[in-house]
Amino acid sequence: MLEARELSKSYGAVKALDTVSFRAVGGEVIAIVGDNGAGKSTLLKVLSGAITHDTGQLRVGGELVDFRSPHDAEQVGIEAVYQDLALVNTLDVGSNIFLGREIPRKGMAGRIGLIDRRAMRREGREALRDLLGVEFPTMRRTVEMLSGGQRQAVAIVRSASRLEQRGRGVILLDEPTAALGVAQRQRVGMLIKRLASKGHLVVIVSHDLPTVFELASRIFVMRLGRLVTELHANDSDLSTLVGLITGAIEPTDITKVVADDDATASSDINRSSRGTK
Amino acid sequence: MATADTTKVVEADDAVSAPVRALQIGRDYGIGGFFFLLLLIFSLASPTFLSGPNLLGILTAASVVSLFALAEALVVIAGAIDLSVVPIAALVGVIVALSLNAGIPVWLAVLIGLGVGFLCGLLNASVIEFMNMSSLIATLATLTTLTGVVLLITNGKPIFGVTALAPLGQGRTLGVQNPILVMIATYALVGIVMSQTKFGNRLLAVGGNAEAARRAGVRRRFYVFAPFVACGVISAGAGIVVLGRLGSAQPTFANSILFDAITAVALAGVLLSGGRGSILKVLLGSLIVATIANGLVLLRVSSFWTYVTTGLLLAVAVWADGAVSRAIERTSLSTEHRKEAARA
Amino acid sequence: MDRDKKRRAALAVISGTVLVSVLTGCANSGGTTSVNKGTIGFITLNQTQEIFISQTKAAQQWADKNSYKLLVGDPNNDPLTQANIIDGWIDSKQVDALLIGPVDEKALLPSLDKANTAKIPTIVSSGLDKPQNDHQGVLVVDWNLFGRNAGEALAGCINERFGGTAKIVILDGPELPGDIVTGRINGELQKIKELSPKSTVVAQQNGQGKRLPSLDIMAALLLANPDITAVTGTNDDSMIGVANAFKAAGKDPSKMCIVGLDATEEGLALVKSGEFYATVDLQPIQQILDGLKLLNDMKAGSVAADARRIVVDTKIVKATS
Ligand SMILES: Nc1ncnc2c1ncn2[C@@H]1O[C@H](COP(=O)(O)OP(=O)(O)OP(=O)(O)O)[C@@H](O)[C@H]1O
Ligand SMILES: [Mg+2]
């Protein structure tokens, strides 16, 4: 349902994305890993319409799309949690969660644009509790006064609750658990699994490789803007992945691994990874 | 009003420590407290000050400044600034005066005037958005250009003998001067829009963090244009009120008016970085500016002291607002850390 | 994206240039004639106040008729800017003659010396009492006399309508250097004291020479002192605010004593309708035309020193006169 073909994006001389292609379908959890500056966030931002790519094609549900803004991406069901969270510091928690799709008041008042702040606070509080198990004593606090983890929770809940209102969609998560405590991390993992089980496509970017293995079925490795390879989580292991990310293992060694789902091949890689070290 | 919900902490709130709450109350109600202090001082110093007619007089004097301040506040909340509010009002005053003198009916002339304000706002926003200019430079250009245009139209001469708007500018309803009612109605409308509507919520969001708002699916461009257009229309309203009060349209206004309006906005704690702003406080800020001017006249203090007082007040208010905000941040962060330490 | 930005910037620059050239083109097309007797640099306090705009217009007409080119400067009430503009004109040899209404004559002395060294005939309108050198002519405007006229009119009105006793308000400002505002105010105070000794000045406030601030100030003063009956100050404009304040307080301005200064079109209309008791006329247009004629003579050949000193006539305009 989400397909990228030869996506490229340059910042001056820096090729942040270099002919990246992949396909993914609803119900999957895929992960994108890579070192700092590999282009992971750039890829996610292209997919969410936050930035536009230079060349290449993007298809959603088979249809060619041309996102001019995140608004466009949202229309076809793509939600994103950004690495920098993209919250409005000066607004309160409820307003942030419902920004862009505020809850209207009932009846005539709602039709002329009046919004129900109380409902936004209440539903925001419930979503935070139900989705992540986070209790917010007050929803009136502005986001600037929240801790890093609380901010992250708000950003995740905002996107996840939007997605839950759709039949099928895509959620892009850039380092969703970086600032979270242990319990909240687990809740995010559960949330991701649940979203996938409902048929949504989940794309996560993370440096937390054990979690990546636990959640994702496929793992894309990026290096210097290129998507160098793709692994199946259940027939690879941590050290292979680390090797691929750092460049200790060359992807050419593994392309055949992905081609034939062979357990022996993956142990080959383990050997070769040891060999190069 | 706009952030009544976002900054006020009314409910018992165990997450916010007592000192933070005290500081927040200081920040949120400080301006109201200051206003009452000012009323107290002047009423002790001058017997006339607290009389009904004088209070109405302050409100009448505040009506024009407060409209300019409101127009400016909308733009500042959106994270920009508009230096052209006064010449927009001058242009509108002149055009409405000429229309009325040409025999155009009052309602149509007023509509034309508001339309001119709308177009001026549209022009400002277009230059900023499509030519990638900062609002400061763009509206500075508009300020100069419009001043020139008005002088070209009028040859520098006021257009006088315009009586058709006297009921608006000089009449009273139930004993209250009509400009005061215009002020209250406009503030009520804008206050509700900013605090209760989708539009207000999104405008605050774009002012606070345009990119974040865009990523949340808000059509950013609309919210770049809207505040300037609203600012143009409200400035036009101010120009029409002035025309009504004076029965004549001046090509240039006193220099102090833009300064007074920006002072009122700053007193209200509407930060120039955008995203924050209470419409009620902007009204209070305007009333403070008008009250100081009035009180010092009544005390027959040299008018130079008005400048000194307003200037100092502005500096102190902005400083205090910043200091209190920083203190809140520090205190709430340190409680956060303490809690975290306790948890570990 | 980046290229887009550059294109927009280029567009902005181009459209700006077009706009400027169109505007300057319009400005220049006014003064072209076949024979050209030279360029007159014309500079007054600003180009935003009615009185100066009408002076500039009259000067332009005179120049067109007499085959001069007119170069107009706008210092926006700033003495330093004015000096800079004049120095620039002299240094770049753009002007063959100068007519100057100084913002602050003291700040202008170096520029006037410079004009003398360059042998450029110069008329200084107001501020100087007599020509300082052979290339200089002066229009002597006595701002104090101007104010004394206003004070005299006000005292006359107080005697006529209030038996010689009144509570008076003076609205001064804007804060200009030099004598232009202070001269008026001092003259007024002097005559009031002299001709209406029983009256008191209850307040002197800054009306900024504009009607809106003057209206607000006067409205407040009338509440504190409902028995204020006489007002004068800087100019007609501020007195228009005063007349409005009287009306708003339910008082008929034509029964009060309001004296304006400058004799603007609107001021004269209000004198006629009775709202102003009087306004004082400095004959701004005639003054400029006299100055230009003198400048023309000085360019043609030397003019005797006493002929290079023109005293500007001021006169009180009342409804009856
Ligand atoms: N707005 C920008 N302007 C210029 N260069 C940029 C911009 N955004 C990203 N880049 C560059 O593009 C490359 C990819 O950046 P990106 O943020 O996608 O990396 P990342 O894989 O998300 O890294 P990290 O793990 O540190 O988040 C980097 O070299 C970065 O410097
Ligand atoms: Mg990143």
C319 within some domain: no
CA nearest C11 in B: which residue?
B131
Rounded CA separation B110/C230 (Å): 35
pLDDT at B171: 87
Which of A50, A95, A142 lies closest to B215 in CB terms? A50
Residues C9 and C131 in one domain: yes
Rounded CA separation C68/C61 (Å): 10
Number of independent structural domains in chain C: 2
Which of A113-122, B18-27, C5-14 has the highest mean predicted lDDT (pLDDT)?
A: A113-122
B153's tokens: 């139209």
pLDDT at B48: 85
C321 within some domain: no
What is the residue extent of each domain of chain B? 51-316
Strands (E), C133-285: 136-140, 167-172, 200-206, 228-233, 257-261, 278-281
pLDDT at B333: 59
- Model confidence at B288, pLDDT cuts 50, 70, 90, reads very high
Q: What is the mean pLDDT of residues A77-91?
A: 90
Question: pLDDT > 90: what percent of chain A?
Answer: 41
Residues C214 and C291 in one domain: no
Residues of B whose CB is below 8 A from C203: 297, 300
> What is the tens place of the pLDDT at every residue in A118-141?
899 999 999 998 888 888 777 888
φ, ψ (nearest 5 deg) of residue C220: -65, -45
The residue ranking higher by pLDDT, A241 or B234, is: B234
CATH number at residue A6: 3.40.50.300
Q: Give the residue, out of A8, A15, A41, A174, with the most ligand 1 atoms within 8 A of its beta carbon, to mutate for a pocket test.
A: A41
Question: How much is the ipTM here?
Answer: 0.83
Q: Which of C74, C216, C235, C262 to mutate to test the interface with B (most CBs of B within 10 A)?
A: C216
> What is the tens place of the pLDDT at every residue in B114-137?
999 999 999 999 999 999 899 999
For residue B120, give every residue at least 6 positions away whose Cβ sits within 8 Å of its Cβ, in sequence order, or none.
B84, B88, B91, B142, B146, B232, B235, B236
Residues of B whose CB is below 8 A from A74: 217
Mean model confidence pLDDT for chain B: 86
Residues C11 and C133 in one domain: yes
> Regarding beta strands C278-281 and C315-318, do their DSSP bridges make them parallel or antiparallel, or are they unpaired?
antiparallel
- Model confidence at A109, pLDDT cuts 50, 70, 90, reads confident
pLDDT of A107 higher than 70: yes
Which of B181-190, B291-300, B301-310 has the highest mean predicted lDDT (pLDDT)?
A: B181-190
A83 within some domain: yes
CATH number at B51-316: 1.10.3470
> What is the tens place of the pLDDT at every residue in C76-133?
888 899 999 999 999 999 999 999 999 888 889 999 999 999 999 999 988 788 888 8
> What is the tens place of the pLDDT at every residue in B326-335?
777 676 656 6
DSSP single-letter state for residue C201: E
pLDDT at C25: 41
pLDDT at B230: 97
Quote the ligand 2 centre to C274 CA distance (angstroms).
77
Distance of CA B84 to the CA centre of its chain: 13
Q: Residue C238's closest CA among C283, C171, C189, C185?
A: C171
> What is the tens place of the pLDDT at every residue in B170-185?
888 998 899 999 999 9
Residues that place a CB less than 5 A from ion ligand 2: A 41, 83
Number of independent structural domains in chain A: 1
Q: Which of A55-59, A89-93, A242-246, C214-218 has the lowest mean pLDDT?
A: A242-246
Residues C99 and C153 in one domain: no
A121 within some domain: no
The residue ranking higher by pLDDT, A261 or C37, is: C37
Q: Which residues does B contribute to its contact with A (CB < 8 Å)?
A: 3, 5-11, 13-16, 196-199, 201-202, 204-205, 207-209, 211-220, 274-276, 328-329, 332, 336, 340
Q: Judged by CB atoms within 8 Å, which residues 49-78 of C form the interface with B?
A: 49-50, 52-54, 57
Q: What is the mean pLDDT of residues A192-204?
A: 92
- Cβ burial of A273 (10 Å; 0-12, 13-18, 19+) is buried
pLDDT at A254: 58
- Model confidence at B193, pLDDT cuts 50, 70, 90, reads very high
B341's tokens: 């330490």
CATH number at residue C288: 3.40.50.2300
CA nearest B306 in C: which residue?
C206
Residues C277 and C299 in one domain: no
For residue B111, give every residue at least 6 positions away whose Cβ sits within 8 Å of its Cβ, in sequence order, or none.
none
Please name the helix (run of DSSP H) or strand (run of DSSP E) that holds residue A203, with its range, or none: strand A201-205
The residue ranking higher by pLDDT, B248 or B13, is: B248
Q: Which residue range forms the structural domain that includes residue C32?
A: 3-141+283-312
pLDDT at B2: 41
Residues of A whose CB is below 8 A from B16: 138, 141
C317 within some domain: no
- Listing DSSP states for A133-169 in one string gives ----S-S-SBGGGS-HHHHHHHHHHHHHHHHHTSSS-
pLDDT at A146: 84
> What is the tens place of the pLDDT at every residue in B48-95?
888 888 999 999 999 999 999 999 999 999 999 999 999 999 999 999
Residues C136 and C178 in one domain: no
The angle subtended at Cα B231 by Cα B227 and Cα B233, nearest 5°, is 120
> What is the tens place of the pLDDT at every residue in B211-262?
999 999 898 889 999 999 999 999 999 999 999 999 999 888 888 899 999 9
pTM: 0.84
pLDDT at B336: 55
Residues C127 and C147 in one domain: no
Handedness of CA B202, B206, B210, B212 (dihedral sign): negative
A245's tokens: 């990310």
C272 has a chain B CB within 8 A of its CB:
no
Q: Which of B49, B157, B305 to mutate to test the interface with C (most CBs of C within 10 A)?
A: B157
Longest Cα–Cα distance of chain A, Å, equals 72
Which of A87, A99, A113 lies closest to B218 in CB terms? A99
Residues C117 and C203 in one domain: no
Q: Is the CB of A84 inside a 6 Å radius of any atom of ligand 1?
A: no
- pLDDT digit string (tens) for chain C, length 321 residues: 445 555 555 455 444 444 444 444 444 444 444 578 899 999 999 888 888 888 999 999 999 999 999 999 999 888 899 999 999 999 999 999 999 999 888 889 999 999 999 999 999 988 788 888 888 999 888 889 999 999 999 999 999 999 999 999 999 887 777 788 899 999 999 999 999 999 999 999 999 899 999 999 999 999 988 999 999 999 999 999 999 999 999 999 999 999 999 998 899 999 999 999 999 998 888 989 999 999 999 988 888 888 888 888 888 999 875
pLDDT at B340: 55
The residue ranking higher by pLDDT, C150 or B304, is: C150
Q: Give the residue, out of A9, A11, A204, with the most ligand 1 atoms within 8 A of its beta carbon, to mutate for a pocket test.
A: A11
Distance of CA C302 to the CA centre of its chain: 29
C174 has a chain B CB within 8 A of its CB:
yes
Residues C148 and C158 in one domain: yes
A12 within some domain: yes
- Cβ burial of B285 (10 Å; 0-12, 13-18, 19+) is buried
Which of A253-262, B25-34, B186-195 has the highest mean predicted lDDT (pLDDT)?
A: B186-195
Residues C223 and C105 in one domain: no
A135 within some domain: no
* CA distances in angstroms from A236 to A230, A256, C89, listed in the order given: 10, 13, 83
pLDDT of B27 higher than 90: no
Q: Which residue range forms the structural domain that includes residue A65?
A: 2-89+147-253
Residues of B whose CB is below 8 A from C210: 250, 252-254
pLDDT of A231 higher than 50: yes
Is the CB of B294 less than 8 angstroms away from the CB of C57? no
> What is the tens place of the pLDDT at every residue in A18-29?
999 999 998 999
